[in-house]
Chain A
Amino acid sequence: MSKQSLITAIALGTAALAGGGQALAADLTISCGAVGVELELCEQGVNQWEEQTGHSVDIVSTPNSSTERLSLYQQILSANSSDIDVLQIDVVWPGLLANHLLDLGETLGEDAAAGHFPAIVENNTVDGRLVAMPWFTDAGVLYYRKDLLEEYGFEPPETWEELTAIAREIQAGEQAAGDRIWGYVFQGRAYEGLTCNALEWVASHGGGTIVDAEGNLTVNNADAASALDLAASWIGDITPEGVLNYTEEEARGLFQSGNAVFMRNWPYAWSLAQGEESEVRGRVGVVKLPHGEGGNSAATLGGWNLAVSRYSENPELAADLVAFLTGEAEQKRRAIEGSYNPTLERLYADEEVLAAVPFFGTLYDTFANAVARPSAATGESYGRVSNAFFDTTHSVLSGEMSATDALPQLEGQLRRLERRWK
């Protein structure tokens, strides 16, 4: 290509981009997650709303790591930018972002959130303002390979020790048969997901939730130490060392390709593991997570909400989109097609939903009683607390420190932060 024609091509391309940008200017912009089939489901829902109302909506996808997604939102919102109207926010963020979000109770009416799990509505209400509508809830669950457990004559594990023993035996048996398979995978990268995983280990050993409801540090105790030491003993034994860099999707990749016996993940993985492209289709079971000695099974409360930015130029339209997406019809469709947990209690009795995702019925208690991360007690410092916790856990898992050495250090670190929330 000659220089002249190259310049012409660039000029044309730029003109086309600029022109196209104007022609496509939408009424609203929504940010959706892109974990698993999340983005497709979001697009389908948004398309329906567009057809009904005749408005156009742009969808932007955001980083899969929730830690990074929060940073992005905070930058956009601190700049008072109207770039994104509707934000998909994590269950631990309402307190952090409340100042930038619209009171949906005002726009959608006082009973906007009626019928949703009260705990989530309360979580999303900051100083009497409903800053986000519940979209789907989440709780950690244990996926297992039904076929392998049956073959080796095991029932799904009740305790972490049982899980360790079963995973070890099946892994050894399969490896002897020449099949490279791992016992247990979870989310071990140094990010928010590790906080969720580690909180489950600690809480299910009776070790508390890092910081209690009154804001007191509880993390440095013997139960927490034995929980973390147990988890560290999995690495290199029943868990690949690479798990230290895994998020949800890497863990699912390993499990869904038939390379793991157990996996800790959120419910979304169910519809994918049972999908047509899955290698383990029809061979997957889901139970609640195991517990430790003297503890009860604990699942970290996750889930995502939809909020409207205060800087939106079309706040009412945006609120209408939120009401549509979090409504019953849309939540039901998402439950059936993507196994996303509804936040509307009555959908857990819906036959079509239960037929598509049987464990929504059997694990109802798990979802209703999930353990919250200490975001309420630590307020604006939650990000730092979680960061200190997952960094410490990460160094215990990678064998740099034992839990008994690491937890006092963590406590010291949190002590420094305590000044900020007390």
Chain B
Amino acid sequence: MTTTTPSAPTRARPYRGTKVRRQRVRAAWTFLAPMLVALALVAGWPLLRTFYFSLTDGTLSTLGDASFIGLENYLVYDDGAWYGLLTDPMWWRSVWNTLFFAVVSVSLEVVFGVIVALILNVEFRGRMLVRAAVLIPWAIPTIVSAKMWAWMLNDQFGIINHLLMTLGIIDAPIAWTASATYSMWAVILVDVWKTIPFVALLALAALQMLPKDCYEAAEVDGIHPVRVFFKVTLPLITPALMVAVIFRLLDALRVFDVIYVLTSNASSTMTMSIYARQQLVEFQDVGYGSAASTLLFLIIALATVAYLYLGRNRLQLGGD
């Protein structure tokens, strides 16, 4: 966007309203317009439509003559009891499940991603090969890798149970994807396995940009490598990690595929997206499902704003 950024000397002069300025602004809008139109079509319009549908009683087969019912899909008082999405315990359970999944899986991914990046940052023979190999989990389509894990986690024939039993860690097979205690951890495991490469890649890119002189100075002063990591490396790669976390957080909050393949609609792992899909597709209830989708959107927006707000100071420190 060099067209809109005035160069330093001209900034000082009063400049607003000149011909050049107007031309530049017009050029900027011309360049931006296609993107804005595309965004409005593929993001803005569906979002507005979903919000509108959440205020109707439409079903998938009667979308044409859905009638407006206000906020009844969200909350309604009828016959001495409250009904609606906000009173549905299953909805709140899926909200909790989603938040738990997002926080735990993203934290684990960042920790392991940084470790992998540190290893890949060291010079050793065959480093290029290992770097390519690390990317494989990220490259496999989620449906395929989730199906693969479903077989490995199978209670009777799965290799995970077989290994653990051979090693004597457990003495009876565990039903990883079926039991209410383990299924959440099983899906977290698969998600972490899949997305470590993504975090590792971003962290590695940041690591390779680090100035060598800090490390040389630290070495001369005889600082312990662990201290160097926490005092030099981590602060310097934090901006990159913040970006990785925001990408991952957005993904994790709307997680659907990996969980749906592994545990289907089971309530112990139901997320907001799975809940919304169930209402929209399985029950054909476009009104109620759209209400769930709208809340899902608001919760994600809220989480993102909160994260950016909390991370703002650090971003500014690290960014400039």
A residues apposed to B, CB below 8 Å = 65, 67, 70-71, 74-75, 77-78, 99-100, 188-191, 240-246, 253-254, 259, 383-384, 387, 391, 394-395, 398-400, 416, 419
Contact = CB atoms under 8 A, between A and B. Distances in A.
Given A244-B179, A400-B180, 16 more contacts: A74-B60, A188-B178, A190-B264, A240-B155, A240-B156, A241-B155, A241-B175, A242-B175, A243-B175, A243-B178, A253-B156, A254-B156, A259-B156, A383-B284, A391-B267, A398-B178
B83 interface: yes
Given A240-B155, A242-B156, A71 B281 contact: yes
B177 interface: yes
| 7 A-B pairs closest in CB distance | A242-B155, A245-B178, A244-B178, A242-B175, A241-B175, A78-B60, A398-B180
B216 interface: no
Interface in B142-163: 154-157
Contacts of A399: 180
Nearest to A245: B178
B263 interface: yes
A190 B266 contact: yes
A394 B61 contact: no
Nearest to A391: B267
A191 B281 CA distance: 15
B182 to A, nearest CB: 9
B267 A78 contact: no
Contacts of B177: 242, 245
Given A70-B282, A78-B284, A245 B263 contact: yes
B265 interface: yes
Given A70-B282, A74-B281, A387-B283, A241 B179 contact: yes
B93 to A, nearest CB: 11
Contacts of A100: 61
Nearest to A381: B283
8 contacts: A74-B284, A100-B61, A188-B178, A190-B265, A191-B264, A383-B282, A387-B282, A398-B180
A244 B282 CA distance: 21
Interface of B: 60-61, 63, 78, 83, 90, 154-157, 173-175, 177-180, 263-268, 278, 281-284
A189 B179 contact: no
Contact of A245 (B61, B175, B283): B175
Grouping DSSP codes into helix (H, G, I), strand (E, B) and loop, the B interface class, with mixed when no group exceeds half, is loop
B283 A394 contact: no
Contact of A242 (B61, B173, B268): B173
A78 B61 contact: yes
A245 B157 CA distance: 14
Q: Most chain-A CB neighbours within 10 Å: which of B268, B278, B284?
A: B284
A70 B283 CA distance: 10
Contacts of B278: 387
A68 B79 CA distance: 34
A217 to B, nearest CB: 15
A377 to B, nearest CB: 18
B281 A75 contact: yes
Nearest to A259: B156
Contact of B61 (A99, A243, A253): A99
Contacts of B178: 188-189, 241-246, 398
Given A243-B178, A398-B180, A399-B180, A190 B173 contact: no
A77 B267 CA distance: 28
Contact of B179 (A71, A74, A387, A398): A398
A280 to B, nearest CB: 15
B175 A190 contact: no
A316 to B, nearest CB: 25
B86 to A, nearest CB: 13
Contacts of B83: 416
A60 B61 CA distance: 23
Contacts of A391: 90, 265, 267
Contacts of B157: 253
Nearest to A240: B155
A67 B282 contact: yes
Q: Which of A67, A241, A243, A395 has the most CB of B within 10 A?
A: A241
A391 B180 CA distance: 13
B122 to A, nearest CB: 32
A398 B175 CA distance: 11
Contacts of A244: 175, 178-179, 266
B283 A384 contact: yes
B25 to A, nearest CB: 40
B267 A395 contact: yes
Contacts of A189: 178, 264, 266
A270 B44 CA distance: 54
A92 B182 CA distance: 33
A188 B178 CA distance: 9
Nearest to A400: B180
Contacts of A77: 61
Given A240-B175, A244-B175, A190 B267 contact: yes
Contacts of B263: 245
Contacts of A241: 155, 174-175, 178-179
Nearest to B278: A387
Contacts of A398: 178-180, 268
A71 B178 CA distance: 23
Contacts of B173: 240, 242
B61 to A, nearest CB: 5
Nearest to B158: A242
A93 to B, nearest CB: 12
B290 to A, nearest CB: 15
Contacts of B156: 240, 242, 253-254, 259
A394 B60 contact: no
Contact of B264 (A65, A70, A75, A259): A65
Contacts of B268: 398, 400
Given A190-B265, A244-B179, A398-B179, A75 B154 contact: no
A188 B90 CA distance: 20
**Of B63, B154, B175, most A-chain CB atoms within 10 Å:** B175
Contacts of B154: 242
